[in-house]
Structure 1
Amino acid sequence: MMAAPTEPGTWTGRALPRLEDPAIVRGWGTYVADIASRNAGCAYVRFVRSTVASGRILSITAPPGVTVFTGRDLADVAPIEAALHRPDFVAVGTPILATDVVRFVGEPVAFVVADSDAAAEDAAELVDVDIEPLPAVLSAPDALAEGAPLVHDSVPADHQNAPNTMVDGRVTTPGAAEAFTRADAIVPVRVSSGRQSAMPLEARASHAAYDRADGRITLHSTLQMPHITRTGIADCVGMAEDDLRVVAPDVGGGFGAKMTLAREDVALVWAARTLRRDLAWIETREENFLAAWHSREQVYDIEGAFTADGELLALRGDLICDVGAYCCYPVTWAVEPLMALAELPGPYKVAEYDVRSRAVATNKCPIAPYRGVSRPMQVLAMERLMDRAAAHLGIDRVEIRDKNLISEFPHRAPTGLVLDAASHRETLAEAARLADLDDFAVRQEQARRQGRYLGIGFSCFAERTGYGTPAFAARSQPFGLDPTKPAPVITPGFERVILNMDPSGGLTLRIGASPHGQGLKTTLAQVVCDELGMRPDQVRVIASDTDATPYGWGSYASRAMVIAGGASLIAARELAERIRGLAADRLGGLPDDIVLEDGTARLRGGTEAVELAVIARDTYHSSHLIPDKGQPALEAVGTYDPSGTFANACHVAEVEVDPQTGQVRVTRFLVAEDAGRLINPAIVDGQIHGGVVQGIANALFEELIYDDRGVLVTTSLMDFLPPTAAEVPDIEISHLYTLSPASLTGAKGVGEGGTIGAPAAIANAISDALSPLGVGVFHLPATPHRIRSAIREGRDIRPAPHPSDAAVPAPQQ
């Protein structure tokens, strides 16, 4: 199971500096705003947005001289349609501009066009939008209440779902009820999370260039999924995909928020085609907070059935995800509730399962994936459950986790999910060793005698990574399909690459995945060069351009290294085999006798060698001398579509809480993780560091807050507070290495793990610190105000009650 981090003489396992970085750190990168600023004839678009959460549009007017477009002008543009084949899924189209009603503050209702960005901003302020307010629902509990206003009144009255319930998934195993009957202890936990923003450093931005020669549009946009963006826009506008080129230049952070199709991009392409001119839209930070997808406003009620010695027999629960006003494309508003439903048990053995998970619409900004999706909440629920069960049963918190962690593989969860080889117990043991709990107990007791409150918290999790079409297809359940009509459901997953060697011996790798800061170009070059005996700096990776790359699904869900890496390995092996055959013809011997290294092909055990550049030149320029001319030139295609592989980790947080101010200081953070073979350890560590920082933000700082009118009040960095270097401790990382047959390269994804595990570790640590005061953390972020109030009132930091209260009791002290 455990493997060495690298093998001698390979590029894999080396902490190479990222090939992408020199241009970026020197300021030579190219972002969308740079492209727009260099286009002297470019006009600018500014969107006019709703200022009420729910209402009927009465009129939209503008003074003479202001070029304004409304939903009436875009009548021929189809709404964005995202769907799943499930009877519990409610399909609702998203209009490009709200036409009759608005459903959240920030929804676009019109846009203006002007010769400069400043002029467009001024023009937008002159547009008068008269909206008659209607009753709004501003929380999932309100939306589920009897007689609640409908966010979408177009849903058929006979639909099986309750009003405002857009997805209603359920998994129940036959023995769940009996397991709870024979349990020695039933431990309930309710946890919740406030809304978050991915808050990339670069907000959304797009530039649509119109080519008068052929009418094509080139859209430069800050994206994670260029190909699917092209598909979505073409479907809405009614144009052939070949008439639209989509390019993602350098991207200033994505984190999932840039994988979904933006209404604004559809409008921009339509306007560029209609006006036959170049247009740009550069989103402001306020717009980004208002309308650029939110995430993870969820409430989980769960109960664990335990034996007296701490074995988890069964799990049941009610999971509610506030998904906002519209469905995100292409992964739909089912992505959060169905991921929560499928993956709630995480790394723990759960024989019996009875869980319901719902997506509930509200009059707020729509929800879309953000780093980790629902898993930070899943892990928070399970890890708070483990700590509470340990306390209730008088069992050590490490011991109860170790007893329940999966140790035999492959493991089939009660939801049908198959977990491949991993090291759950081993990472827990390593984290506990590094934490030195005996020493911490001494320090904690000494601090308490001084009136100081220290705490330590654990968090174990499994991170599903690199999953292809088999996983995404499982979310749809075909029913009642008309075989004469194409299904609108999109099933992402596979990746395809094209690798070729040019006449000078250089390599070009064209990938469908779309890097946006992960160092993917460097790691893929390392994989390729191990097969071809070349240096990574001899590989040019071309990505994020629909004209220049094979169709692919972009980068998200910790998938790029696993799937694009697997496809690249397949292509590299095929190209290497072709080169060995050509070298064997030249040098004598068999292809299997040829070794590719240091830019040459040589006979194994001999001195005869030929440079790869010579083979390449002859293959292209003297092809009449090459045997088997029927084969293609030095080009190979690799396609990979795996079912997925699970990385795993254990996080440990140490905190100190000031009971007077409620301030939490994270004093130490440990990560014991297993991401299989590390292609580039430095990049892996960077992903973990960045993820942990975003997890700390989730736990302590960042929250989007609406007032009682449905108006977002956190619309700037004065109010939405990301952590700075001053709030983040050094992050200590220990690597374990499990090679799984579920990953062709041996690598597992690592992009989201830091964000998934950190919030629960910090919540458990704060709860440990404040246990003498009777305070536990069950809602994130645990802000100073919430902590101070909880201490003063002698209560836990809890979510608000919701309609499931009658079914699942609140946790007891």
Structure 2
Amino acid sequence: MKEGKLVGRSVARREDPRLLSGRGRFVDDIALPGMLHAQFVRSTVAHGEIASVDLSAVRHVPGVVAAFTADDLELGDITAQLGRPLSEYVPTAMPVLARDKVRYVGEPVAIVVARDAYAAEDGLEAAKVSYTTLPPVTSEEAALAPGAPLVHDEAARNTLVDVSLFATDGIDEIFASAPCVVHVESRTGRQNALPLETRGVVAHWDDREEQLVVQTCTQVPHQVRTVASRSLRLDERAVRVVVPDMGGGFGQKCVVGREEIAAAAAALRLRRPVKWIEDRKDALSASFLAREQHYQVRAAFGADGRILGLDADVVCDMGAYSCYPFTAGIEPLMASAEMPGVYKVPAYRVRGRAITTNKAPTAPYRGVSRPQYVMVVERLFERAARELGLDPVEIRRRNVITDFPYTGVNHITYDPGSYLESLNLCERLVQDEGWYEKQAAAAAEGRHLGIGYACFSERTGYGSTAFAQRKMQVVPGFDISEVRMDTSGAVTVTTGTMSHGQSHETTMAQIVADELGLDIAKVRLHQGDTDRITYGWGTFASRSITVGGSAVRLAAAKLGDKLRAIAAARWGIDADEVELTDGAARRRDDTSEVLTYEDIADIAYLRAHLLPKDIEPGLAATATFDVFTDGTFSNATHGVVVELHQGTGQVEILRYVCVEDCGVAINPQVVEGQCRGGIAQGIAGALFEQVTYDDMGEPSATSFMDYKVPTAHEIPDVLIHHLETPSAFTETGAKGAGEGGTIGAPAAVLNAVNDALRPTGVELDHTPVTPETVHRALNLEAAS
């Protein structure tokens, strides 16, 4: 960090005073004159043909204003596409409201609109929907079984994606001759991203602008606008999407939901504001879920512990539909492309499949397959270390990438990182705190302490090039920013990214303030408004600072060039003889010669006749940024110490150490917040959270009584150390930091649990690890 610069400093979050004092404005805070409330009639069966929908009694319920089916609203479908051959990808259309068939419990069938939320709920009770039930498909085994019922008639064997991206020549011979071959089969539980704020929308028609205004909590406002305009058959200019404050998203809100579109359609039809707020039951059972994956992986190692090959089969249960815009390919393609991770894998073969079942559909969730495949690969290294008689950290040392740039067997080029350095430092921190000695002492007392590590990378800053490699029809990537100064010298910045807790109002302002030599208090960020933001892909895949922040810096630099040019013209000198500091332009050769930004703005706006002919009036600049490489790679090593309690099977985390490298940390405190929050979600997946289904497709966890969410008691304090390997591919040197905590935690926790279980001979490879499972393992040892 340069002296006097804001980038690299833990500047206090500018959002906090507003949010902590109750002045935040979330979707549910919005109240418009004449506003109505909506709720949805939802399917009570997992798989069935809709025989009839009778809403006549609903419309007579006191307070109900209207009730609509799909046919009433004439909505277009939400369809996401991959540009792959039909042998690899089968597209499925997701109707906004189910028409002829329902495919999961909770699927919206009709919308009820009433004067208040209670009347809307009463209206649901009066709806009569009859089904011709069909056999539900509720598991991978059932979906892939010969002759299985089809969730979608066009998807043979219930398979939406089936890709084999890599197959190194001679890989079978490598495995046949390898001194050591280890196997891991792992299943991970279906999870809910669980944002504090559930999904919601307020939509109304603006007569003056002839525009449908949709206020919703989404990570991708421009994509919501596109789908809404197409479904409602409106020009895009006739739809405005505005995002107020948002209480978390974590990927669940980076896809376009059905309910938001249906509520907007009702508002358009009724010409009255319509609000829908998702209740927690619907959020847990009928919203987008994630993570249910099955890995069968083997790895070949030499006698020296060096990996020789990796062979994987990945099956991802994507539920009933593809999500927009990422499709059902999001999880198997991520796992297939990036599984080799931080290791020098010379030979690789992978098959990735997305299957469809009668469950709520899947959306990206923080990390997208990386928590799962990192866990599997780290288990392989643990198993190989034991079979070869090597230290589990040492075997990683022998295999991590150390020479950069490195092009892997997966054809991805990794930019410089600190893989070995983070691994060594993490181990040393655990050692220095004496945990190995404490582990030995605990064993002598009959207690079960375990130490586990996970070393991984987080690919961030995906640009158009990276997404195009997946053959997506909708190709995200670039971002656009405008930086504009007014006559008071204050600056307004726009970004196409969308904050849902990541402190964009602070970090983007730090970048601009540094670039313009301006007090950060003079910088204001605008985001999440499709009328004010030219275009944007929103926030996902840790792209906000890498891509959005780079566009912001470029736009600020362009504005800085114009400020220098105007000042230079007034002084009759070259622009490179002008510097920008402390809210003013100054001559480098005579710093007493000053033009404040107010002075320059006065010329640019109010006395434009003084401008040179080659400088246009006004003070605004726009820039775009895209990443035309394979992206940038953050990396980290996590170290975990656990104790297993024999009487209860409880897994207690005694220590958590994170050594991370996200390049230049724009705001270290914000980065640490991302790490801690991500680790909490990773621990949740490792030990607690899971949505299961019975044989009829009924979800088991529809409240926090059944969906086990960890509290502050279960989440430990986290020791965080920062390393810094600046990225050459972003304007600030920053890499993404949003998902790393979640990626590393399941592997580190599971490895620590297995280390503690070593005396029992039991190894666990599935998550979540429940107290019942641990109790059985520990008491198996006790019984013997």
Q: Normalization by structure 2: what TM-score?
A: 0.96
1:280 corresponding residue in structure 2: 275
1:90 corresponding residue in structure 2: 90
2:368 corresponding residue in structure 1: 373
Query: Which letter maps to 2:642?
Result: V
User: Is the CA contact (8 Å cut-off) linking 1:623 and 1:629 kept in structure 2?
Assistant: no
Alignment partner of 2:544 out of 560, 580, 593: 560
Query: Which letter maps to 1:329?
Result: Y
Tell me, in whole angstroms, the C-alpha distance in 2 between the residues paired with 1:677 and 1:741. 11
Query: Which letter maps to 1:310?
Result: G
Q: Structure 1: any 5+ residue segments left out of the alignment? A: 1-5, 156-161, 478-488, 796-813
SS of 1:72's equivalent in the other structure is: helix
Q: Which moved more, 1:123-132 or 1:675-684?
A: 123-132
Alignment partner of 2:716 out of 717, 729, 733: 729
Query: Which letter maps to 1:86?
Result: R
Q: Structure 2: any 5+ residue segments left out of the alignment? A: none
1:167 aligns with 2:166: no
User: Is the CA contact (8 Å cut-off) linking 1:212 and 1:276 kept in structure 2?
Assistant: no
Tell me, in whole angstroms, the C-alpha distance in 2 between the residues paired with 1:111 and 1:237. 16
2:379 corresponding residue in structure 1: 384
Tell me, in whole angstroms, the C-alpha distance in 2 between the residues paired with 1:680 and 1:78. 43
1:638 aligns with 2:623: yes
User: Is the CA contact (8 Å cut-off) linking 1:594 and 1:604 kept in structure 2?
Assistant: yes
1:72 aligns with 2:71: yes
1:778 corresponding residue in structure 2: 765
2:11 corresponding residue in structure 1: 16
Alignment of 1:14-53 (within 5 A): 14-35=9-30, 38-53=31-46
User: Is the CA contact (8 Å cut-off) linking 1:136 and 1:363 kept in structure 2?
Assistant: yes
> How big is each residue's C-alpha offset from its partner over 1:299-351, in whole Å with a ceiling of 9 and x where there is no partner?
11111110001000110010010000001000111000000000111111111
Tell me, in whole angstroms, the C-alpha distance in 1 between the residues paired with 2:614 and 2:409. 54
Tell me, in whole angstroms, the C-alpha distance in 2 between the residues paired with 1:454 and 1:791. 12
Q: Report deviation, 1:743.
A: 2.0
Q: Report deviation, 1:605.
A: 4.0
Q: Report deviation, 1:212.
A: 3.1
User: Is the CA contact (8 Å cut-off) linking 2:760 and 2:777 kept in structure 1?
Assistant: no
Tell me, in whole angstroms, the C-alpha distance in 2 between the residues paired with 1:793 and 1:118. 53
Tell me, in whole angstroms, the C-alpha distance in 1 between the residues paired with 2:619 and 2:67. 53
1:532 corresponding residue in structure 2: 516
Percent of counterpart pairs with the same letter? Answer: 46
User: Is the CA contact (8 Å cut-off) linking 1:82 and 1:93 kept in structure 2?
Assistant: yes
Alignment of 1:230-629 (within 5 A): 230-436=225-431, 439-476=434-471, 489-606=473-590, 607-629=592-614
Query: Which letter maps to 2:83?
Result: H
SS of 1:741's equivalent in the other structure is: coil
Alignment of 1:678-717 (within 5 A): 678-717=665-704
Q: Which moved more, 1:598-607 or 1:260-269?
A: 598-607
Tell me, in whole angstroms, the C-alpha distance in 2 between the residues paired with 1:73 and 1:662. 54
Alignment of 1:653-692 (within 5 A): 653-692=640-679
Q: Report deviation, 1:40.
A: 3.5
Alignment partner of 2:741 out of 743, 754, 766: 754
Q: Report deviation, 1:20.
A: 1.3
Tell me, in whole angstroms, the C-alpha distance in 2 between the residues paired with 1:733 and 1:727. 18
Distance 1:789 1:54, change over 3 A: farther
Q: Report deviation, 1:504.
A: 1.1
Q: Normalization by structure 1: what TM-score?
A: 0.93
Tell me, in whole angstroms, the C-alpha distance in 1 between the residues paired with 2:97 and 2:235. 22
> How big is each residue's C-alpha offset from its partner over 1:54-99, in whole Å with a ceiling of 9 and x where there is no partner?
111112223151532112223x321111001111111010011111
1:806 corresponding residue in structure 2: none
Tell me, in whole angstroms, the C-alpha distance in 2 between the residues paired with 1:340 and 1:220. 34
Tell me, in whole angstroms, the C-alpha distance in 2 between the residues paired with 1:417 and 1:169. 17
Tell me, in whole angstroms, the C-alpha distance in 2 between the residues paired with 1:138 and 1:31. 36
Q: Report deviation, 1:181.
A: 2.7
Query: Which letter maps to 1:164?
Result: N
User: Is the CA contact (8 Å cut-off) linking 2:662 and 2:736 kept in structure 1?
Assistant: yes
Q: Report deviation, 1:127.
A: 0.6
SS of 1:265's equivalent in the other structure is: helix
2:185 corresponding residue in structure 1: 190
SS of 2:759's equivalent in the other structure is: helix
User: Is the CA contact (8 Å cut-off) linking 1:215 and 1:273 kept in structure 2?
Assistant: no
Tell me, in whole angstroms, the C-alpha distance in 2 between the residues paired with 1:742 and 1:664. 41
User: Is the CA contact (8 Å cut-off) linking 2:320 and 2:357 kept in structure 1?
Assistant: yes
Q: Report deviation, 1:791.
A: 3.8
> How big is each residue's C-alpha offset from its partner over 1:772-813, in whole Å with a ceiling of 9 and x where there is no partner?
011222011111122223445579xxxxxxxxxxxxxxxxxx
User: Is the CA contact (8 Å cut-off) linking 1:82 and 1:328 kept in structure 2?
Assistant: yes
Query: Which letter maps to 2:36?
Result: A
1:124 corresponding residue in structure 2: 124
User: Is the CA contact (8 Å cut-off) linking 2:549 and 2:732 kept in structure 1?
Assistant: yes
User: Is the CA contact (8 Å cut-off) linking 2:38 and 2:274 kept in structure 1?
Assistant: yes
Query: Which letter maps to 1:73?
Result: D
User: Is the CA contact (8 Å cut-off) linking 2:344 and 2:400 kept in structure 1?
Assistant: yes
Distance 1:515 1:536, change over 3 A: same
Q: Report deviation, 1:191.
A: 1.3
User: Is the CA contact (8 Å cut-off) linking 1:775 and 1:794 kept in structure 2?
Assistant: no
Query: Which letter maps to 1:613?
Result: E
Q: Report deviation, 1:154.
A: 3.3
Query: Which letter maps to 2:551?
Result: A
SS of 2:94's equivalent in the other structure is: coil
SS of 1:188's equivalent in the other structure is: strand
User: Is the CA contact (8 Å cut-off) linking 1:314 and 1:353 kept in structure 2?
Assistant: yes
Distance 1:794 1:355, change over 3 A: farther
Tell me, in whole angstroms, the C-alpha distance in 2 between the residues paired with 1:421 and 1:127. 59
SS of 1:142's equivalent in the other structure is: helix
Query: Which letter maps to 1:638?
Result: A
Tell me, in whole angstroms, the C-alpha distance in 1 between the residues paired with 2:149 and 2:461. 40
Tell me, in whole angstroms, the C-alpha distance in 2 between the residues paired with 1:438 and 1:546. 51
> How big is each residue's C-alpha offset from its partner over 1:536-586, in whole Å with a ceiling of 9 and x where there is no partner?
111111100001112000011111000011101111111111111111122
Tell me, in whole angstroms, the C-alpha distance in 2 between the residues paired with 1:652 and 1:116. 51
Tell me, in whole angstroms, the C-alpha distance in 2 between the residues paired with 1:95 and 1:610. 59
User: Is the CA contact (8 Å cut-off) linking 1:427 and 1:673 kept in structure 2?
Assistant: yes
Q: Report deviation, 1:629.
A: 4.8
SS of 1:726's equivalent in the other structure is: coil
SS of 1:665's equivalent in the other structure is: strand
Tell me, in whole angstroms, the C-alpha distance in 1 between the residues paired with 2:626 and 2:646. 52
Q: Report deviation, 1:632.
A: 5.0
Tell me, in whole angstroms, the C-alpha distance in 2 between the residues paired with 1:768 and 1:434. 18
SS of 2:39's equivalent in the other structure is: strand
User: Is the CA contact (8 Å cut-off) linking 2:646 and 2:779 kept in structure 1?
Assistant: no
Distance 1:700 1:20, change over 3 A: same
Please give the root-mean-square deviation of Cα atoms over the aligned residues, in Å. 1.4
Alignment of 1:142-221 (within 5 A): 142-155=142-155, 162-170=156-164, 171-221=166-216
Q: Which moved more, 1:331-340 or 1:92-101?
A: 92-101
Tell me, in whole angstroms, the C-alpha distance in 1 between the residues paired with 2:474 and 2:639. 38
Distance 1:204 1:769, change over 3 A: same
Tell me, in whole angstroms, the C-alpha distance in 2 between the residues paired with 1:279 and 1:173. 55
